[in-house]
């Protein structure tokens, strides 16, 4: 069975905890997910089963949307409520206009330093390995994009905001950087992912329903962020099954999900004028053999 599951991951579960349940439910080892969520975080987790695992990398590159809460007065080594307190301070309080002004400073392309408790590789090791071994490491900054950031609620000691950002953005780092701009210590006390590309949290299955096996399995077509194209020309389909470039004169989209009799068979990317190149084959060999004989 192939398909995509949207899961509303609860707090205090790892993304892999969800994967283990899905593997048992569908009795398969071929399960992958799009965008790991920290254990303390909750929200949208996209899970691919069997053939759908091949599409996860395309979803991974889509923008993400989060709701997050910063708690001021305490800075932790993980940048969130699960970590060890490194420093604390009296809380400086501002009016909402000042808060909005500071949030707006982060819109656009920014340089961000990931937290040391993260899975990023530096010199062949995860950053969290350096942290656990108390080793000093130079953490490289990287460019990320904050497309939108809006204030939801400010109480003086907490600040809740909503943001839409590029792949690779660490919201924990964003929370700490906002705190520092406000001359406060701070860490994330809450984080929820609400959207990946066009896929929304509201469409997700609950964890309880997952445990009961009462979940809705979506097709790849339901979730890809690019155009779905059904092709009926057998000469073009033959080239797709052999992974060859194809010419599509009336198409302008950069990337296409190619379907044969409504079955997803490949992802193609435009490389020059009307020429499209195969990025990923999605068909199984039995289906390919049957269709080639029919042609």
- Per-residue exposure over 105-118, b if at least 16 CB sit within 10 Å of its own CB, e if not: ebeeebebebbbbb
Closest alpha carbon to 40 in 5, 6, 10: 10
Contact 290/237 with Cβ under 8 angstroms?
no
Q: Is residue 228 left, alpha or beta, with left meaning phi > 0 and alpha meaning psi from -120 to 50?
A: beta
Query: Hey, what are 83's tokens?
Result: 């970590």
Closest alpha carbon to 277 in 256, 250, 249, 251: 256
- Per-residue exposure over 158-179, b if at least 16 CB sit within 10 Å of its own CB, e if not: bbebebbbeebbbbbbbbbbbb
Residue 181 CB partners (closer than 8 Å, separation 6+): 102, 105
Contact 256/268 with Cβ under 8 angstroms?
yes
Contact 200/194 with Cβ under 8 angstroms?
yes
Is 38 designated active site? Answer: yes
Q: Which of 38, 80, 177, 260 is catalytic?
A: 38
Active site residues: 38
């Amino acid at each position: 069975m192939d398909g995509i599951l949207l899961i509303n991951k609860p707090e205090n579960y790892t993304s892999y905890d969800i994967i283990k349940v899905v593997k048992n439910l569908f009795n398969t080892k071929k399960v992958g997910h799009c965008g790991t969520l920290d254990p303390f975080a909750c929200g949208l987790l996209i899970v691919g089963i069997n053939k759908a695992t091949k599409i996860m990398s395309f979803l991974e590159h889509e923008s993400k949307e989060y709701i997050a809460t910063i708690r001021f007065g305490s800075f932790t080594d993980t940048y969130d409520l699960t970590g060890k307190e490194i420093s604390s301070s009296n809380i400086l309080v501002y009016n909402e206009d000042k808060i909005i002004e500071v949030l707006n400073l982060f819109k656009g392309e920014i340089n961000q330093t990931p937290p040391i408790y993260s899975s990023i590789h530096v010199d062949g090791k995860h950053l969290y390995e350096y942290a656990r071994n108390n080793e000093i490491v130079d953490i490289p900054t990287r460019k990320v994009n904050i497309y939108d950031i809006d204030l939801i609620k400010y109480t003086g000691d907490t600040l809740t905001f909503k943001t839409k950002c590029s792949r690779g953005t660490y919201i924990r780092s964003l929370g700490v950087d906002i705190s520092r701009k406000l001359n406060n210590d701070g860490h994330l006390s809450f984080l929820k992912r609400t959207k990946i590309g066009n896929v929304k949290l509201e469409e997700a299955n609950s964890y309880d329903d997952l445990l009961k096996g009462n979940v809705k399995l979506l097709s790849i077509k339901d979730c890809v962020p690019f155009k779905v194209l059904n092709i009926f020309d057998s000469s073009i389909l033959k080239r797709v099954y052999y992974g060859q470039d194809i010419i599509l004169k009336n198409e302008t989209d950069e990337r296409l999900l190619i379907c044969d009799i409504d079955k997803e068979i490949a992802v193609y990317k435009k490389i020059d004028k009307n020429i499209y190149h195969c990025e990923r084959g999605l068909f199984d060999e039995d289906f390919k053999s049957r269709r080639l004989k029919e042609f």
